[in-house]
């Protein structure tokens, strides 16, 4: 079995409604980088990753110019071996950044092929715990008016979500407190409510906020500070009342290892599209399990519904497709606050290429 | 004062003699990525970075497609502000990898402009400690025969180097021991001798080797294990007899901070061309000084002669130009085991563009 084709493309996918957070400002589009891998047995897998607006063409370049030549001819079923080869091929200018995104996209395609080859959906192939995964609605709403925030929250509940996340990190902590109070009042006491800072604070600010927000029963405090500050996370986790989620900006298995073993994170949040793929996501989930921690996800919910359905220590799935749902033949099914992992072979995501074509940039 | 031009190019620079180490195998060429920044006052700065063969085109893409549009119009004298803008512009697919290489090249160009604007050489502008910097010859020679290794060592000594580094990490530790013993015997007891593993070992293997090599008076043991394994470095540093150097594969200030504050490294070894530029190199040097550590360098000796000449805690400069010396109008001056920081404004490196042109790939 040999890889005979590696085709990568880049699309600039507009968002229906521009979103905003404390770090990235207003985002009107996402870059989608796709890769289709074919083997000599007629099997084709789809991988993809995305950015919030910068770097997509560099990711494509790494796939197309540096990885593709060596991938051709390799056995697509030896995912670990291919993964290590990619890691070391890109290592000198790698160990994270766009290199991790490129590796992730290819790893996802290889796992999709493994599912298709065996006829199994990924959630079964990867372990098979429970296809029904609790899902929360991830709002990207920092600069929404309070009315718009409440309106969005009502819509999330009407859509069947049983948990919601909102952004915090406004210029004044009092604004964050007022907005969180309003959303908690709206959803009542039984809906889990997460808050996401997108790295805006220092450890001191995070501790002050953690204490101020605790009365609203916050499920987790996400990315309070930059992911580079391990010592800061340990302080916030130990001295503050709220559990910490982080990981969407961590691009290696080792970064998660450092945080998990140090007690710096309660809910590790790897993203298959940039942590190194499904291979690394699963390793992080197992490491979390070994530390008696629940694992969550970030973005690309069509893929994470599988990885979370595979493991026994699944926390909530983030429900956010970043505009991609319009370009997928079978968008994620959500029923009564649960996302359902599909039984189609592989990840079961088929992109509507004709519709994407208008947004192609490479 | 405004940036009005950002021109980037990529060259595949062949090496006169192919080199080899335990991780990268045989290397016959390096990718050189250049960036020339012009301002509206007629000042032009040169920045550059390099890879051992993969990723250069992605680095160029990040500079040309994602950073250049926002750099145009910015004040080139506000290096810190421009640096932060670049970091956050690329952050989602950044925090290392090719993003750090792109930022480094631009930061170097901005510092070159600062030197040219003031008429000062960088080593003075950055602090001005001592323009004479002890230099060692960095051999990349793992798969050289013992005869070739000894011949190279004799040549290094004849060229005036007062310290030498050799690669270790051969399949058998006994081979490494025999080669190190032979080189130590050749150079005598007074020449500092460093050994470089290029991440080949586990912590256990590194400790075993550290003990086996200690009798040969090793100045430092470089990159014994992967830079991701902080706990492993702490063990090797504390349980083994040899001091540890590492850093050429660390691409953020924070990675150095984690290692330095944990006591995991004795000789931090940032590389201006991939740690985030001269700005980050200087911060690492200051952090090392605060911990009473000497700082060293990796590659691009024409730039590091300035940064090491600027600080009071300079250890040895690595003398290795990776084939670039043929394309530089004023190659590094080395006298009696010391490299001399030039007094030309900025870094004083001028590339011979006509000669490079034959190797241009982008």
User: ipTM of this model?
Assistant: 0.95
Cβ of B91 within 8 Å of Cβ of A228? The answer is no
Answer left, alpha or beta for residue B351, where phi above 0 means left and psi between -120 and 50 means alpha: beta
Cβ of A249 within 8 Å of Cβ of B92? The answer is yes
B195: nearest Cα among B119, B267, B123: B267
Dist CA B151 CA B153 (whole Å): 5
Which residues share a beta bridge with B330? none
From residue A314, alpha-carbon distances to A159, A260, A309, A343, B303 in Å are 22, 16, 7, 19, 49
Signed CA dihedral, A272, A275, A279, A280: sign only: negative
Cβ of A58 within 8 Å of Cβ of B66? The answer is yes
pLDDT of residue B34: 98
Asked if A27 has any chain B CB less than 8 Å from its own CB, the reply is: no
- Fill in the DSSP letter of residue A285: H
Residues from chain A that touch B92, judged by Cβ atoms under 8 A, are 24, 51-55, 249
pLDDT of residue B229: 97
From residue B329, alpha-carbon distances to A159, B138, B348, B356 in Å are 67, 22, 9, 12
Name the minimum distance, in Å, from the CA of A104 to any CA of chain B: 12
Residue of A nearest to B230 (CA): A258
CA A274 vs. chain centroid, Å, equals: 8
- Fill in the DSSP letter of residue A78: -
pLDDT of residue A28: 84
Is A149 in contact with A183 (CB distance < 8 Å)? yes
Asked if B276 has any chain A CB less than 8 Å from its own CB, the reply is: no
pLDDT of residue A269: 98
Q: Strands A25-39 and B193-196, how do they pair?
A: unpaired
- What is the mean pLDDT of the segment spanning A6-14? 96
Is B21 in contact with B52 (CB distance < 8 Å)? no
Signed CA dihedral, A181, A184, A185, A186: sign only: positive
Cβ of A92 within 8 Å of Cβ of B51? The answer is yes
- What is the mean pLDDT of the segment spanning A285-303? 97
pLDDT of residue B15: 84
Q: Which H, E and C letters describe chain B, residue by residue?
A: CCEEEEEEEEEEEEEEEEEEECCCEEEEEEEEEEEEEEECCCCEEEEEEEECCCCHHHHHHHHHHHHHHHHCCCCCCCHHHHHHHHHHHCHHHCCCHHHHHHHHHHHHHHHHHHHHHHCCEHHHHCCCCCCEEEEEEECCECCCCHHHHHHHHHHHHHCCCCCEEEECCCCCHHHHHHHHHHHHHHHCCCCCEEEECCCCCCHHHHHHHHHHHHHHCEEEEECCCCCCCHHHHHHHHHHCCCCEEECCCCCCHHHHHHHHHCCCCCEECCCCCCCCCHHHHHHHHHHHHHCCCCECCCCCHHHHHHHHHHCCCECCEEECCCCHHHHECCCCEEECCEEECCCCCECCCCECHHHHHHHECC
Mean pLDDT of chain A: 96
Give the pLDDT confidence of A110-119 residue by residue, as tens digits.
Answer: 999 999 999 9
pTM for this prediction: 0.96
Digitized pLDDT (tens) for each residue of chain B, 362 residues in all: 999 999 999 999 998 777 778 787 777 889 999 999 999 999 999 999 999 999 999 999 999 999 999 999 999 999 999 999 999 999 999 999 999 999 999 999 999 999 999 999 999 999 999 999 999 998 888 999 999 999 999 999 998 899 999 999 999 999 999 999 999 999 999 999 999 999 999 999 999 999 999 999 999 999 999 999 999 999 999 999 999 999 999 999 999 999 999 999 999 999 999 999 999 999 999 999 999 999 999 999 999 999 999 999 999 999 987 778 899 999 999 998 999 999 999 999 999 999 999 999 99
Is B210 in contact with B224 (CB distance < 8 Å)? yes
pLDDT of residue B16: 77
Q: H-helix or E-strand containing A7?
A: strand A3-21
Residues from chain A that touch B63, judged by Cβ atoms under 8 A, are none
Residues from chain B that touch A229, judged by Cβ atoms under 8 A, are 254
Cβ of A228 within 8 Å of Cβ of B95? The answer is yes
Please tell me which residue in B167, B233, B301, B347 is annotated as part of the active site.
B167
The answer on pLDDT for A231 being more than 80 is yes
* Two tokens, residue B93: 């697919």
What 3-state DSSP class applies to A201? coil
| Angle, alpha carbons A216-A222-A225 (nearest 5°) | 115
Q: Strands A132-138 and A317-319, how do they pair?
A: parallel
A33: nearest Cα among A231, A237, A324: A324
pLDDT of residue B216: 98
Is B297 in contact with B304 (CB distance < 8 Å)? yes
What 3-state DSSP class applies to A36? strand
In a mutational test of the B interface, the residue from A92, A95, A101, A283 whose CB has the highest number of chain B CBs within 10 Å is A92
Confidence of residue A132 (pLDDT cuts 50, 70, 90): very high
Signed CA dihedral, B122, B123, B124, B127: sign only: positive
Q: Say which residue the tokens 């192939």 belong to.
A: A125
Count of pairs with CB atoms under 8 A, one residue in A, one in B: 128
Q: How long a stretch of residues is chain B?
A: 362
Cβ of A274 within 8 Å of Cβ of B93? The answer is yes
B149: nearest Cα among B186, B197, B201: B186
Domains of chain B: 3-119+352-357 (3.30.390.10), 124-340 (3.20.20.120)
A70: nearest Cα among A103, A104, A113, A97: A103
- Fill in the DSSP letter of residue A332: P
Cβ atoms within 10 Å of A44's Cβ, excluding its own: 15
Dist CA B228 CA A257 (whole Å): 10
Q: Is B167 a catalytic residue?
A: yes
Of the CA atoms within 13 Å of residue A230, those in its CB half-sphere come to 20
Ramachandran angles phi, psi of A144, nearest 5° = -65, 150
* B253-261 and B230-239 helices, crossing angle to 10°: 40
Residues from chain A that touch B251, judged by Cβ atoms under 8 A, are 95-97
Dist CA B136 CA B154 (whole Å): 13
pLDDT of residue B140: 86
In sequence order, the 6+-apart residues with CB closer than 8 A to the CB of B96 are A95, A96, A97, A251, B251, B252, B255
Residues from chain A that touch B88, judged by Cβ atoms under 8 A, are 23
Please tell me which residue in A38, A89, A134, A167 is annotated as part of the active site.
A167
The answer on pLDDT for A320 being more than 90 is no
Name the minimum distance, in Å, from the CA of B187 to any CA of chain A: 31
Asked if B70 has any chain A CB less than 8 Å from its own CB, the reply is: no
Residue of B nearest to A229 (CA): B254
Residues from chain B that touch A59, judged by Cβ atoms under 8 A, are 58, 93
pLDDT of residue A140: 86
Cβ of A93 within 8 Å of Cβ of B228? The answer is no
Dist CA B327 CA B177 (whole Å): 37
- What is the mean pLDDT of the segment spanning A338-351? 97
Asked if A90 has any chain B CB less than 8 Å from its own CB, the reply is: yes
From residue A230, alpha-carbon distances to A226, A237, B236 in Å are 9, 11, 21
Give the torsion through C-alpha atoms of B153, B159, B161, B166, to 10 deg: -30
Q: Is A91 a catalytic residue?
A: no
Residues from chain A that touch B226, judged by Cβ atoms under 8 A, are 254
pLDDT of residue A138: 87
pLDDT of residue B214: 97
């Amino acid at each position: 079995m040999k890889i005979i084709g590696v085709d990568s493309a880049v699309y600039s996918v507009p968002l229906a409604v521009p979103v905003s957070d404390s770090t990235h400002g207003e985002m009107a589009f996402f870059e989608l980088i796709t890769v289709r891998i074919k083997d000599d047995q007629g099997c084709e897998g789809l991988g993809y990753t995305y950015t919030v607006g910068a770097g997509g063409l560099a990711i494509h370049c790494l796939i197309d110019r540096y990885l593709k030549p060596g991938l051709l001819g390799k056995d697509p079923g030896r995912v670990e071996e291919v993964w290590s080869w990619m890691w070391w091929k890109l290592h000198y200018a790698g160990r994270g950044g766009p290199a991790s995104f490129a590796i992730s996209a290819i790893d996802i395609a290889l796992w999709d092929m493994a599912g298709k080859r065996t006829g199994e959906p990924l959630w079964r192939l990867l372990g098979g715990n429970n296809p029904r995964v609790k899902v929360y609605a991830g709002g990207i709403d920092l600069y929404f008016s309070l009315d718009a925030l409440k309106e969005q929250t009502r819509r999330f509940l009407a859509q069947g979500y049983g948990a919601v996340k909102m952004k915090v990190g406004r210029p004044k902590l009092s604004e964050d407190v007022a907005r969180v109070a309003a959303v908690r009042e709206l959803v009542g006491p039984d809906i889990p409510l997460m808050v996401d800072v997108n790295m805006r604070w220092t450890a001191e600010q995070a501790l002050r906020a953690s204490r101020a927000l605790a009365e609203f029963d916050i499920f987790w405090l996400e990315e309070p500070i930059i992911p580079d500050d391990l010592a800061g996370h340990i302080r916030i986790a130990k001295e503050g009342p709220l559990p910490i989620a982080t990981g969407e900006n961590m691009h290696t298995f080792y970064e998660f290892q450092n945080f998990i073993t140090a007690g710096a994170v309660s809910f590790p949040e790897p993203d298959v599209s940039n942590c190194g793929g499904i291979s690394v996501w699963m390793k992080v989930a197992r490491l979390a399990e070994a530390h008696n921690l629940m694992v969550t996800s970030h973005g690309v919910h069509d893929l994470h519904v599988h990885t979370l359905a595979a493991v026994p220590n699944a926390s909530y799935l983030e429900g956010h497709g970043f505009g991609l749902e319009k370009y997928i033949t079978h968008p994620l099914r959500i029923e009564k606050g649960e996302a359902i992992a599909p039984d189609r072979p592989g990840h079961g995501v088929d992109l509507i290429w004709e519709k994407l074509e208008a947004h192609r940039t490479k």
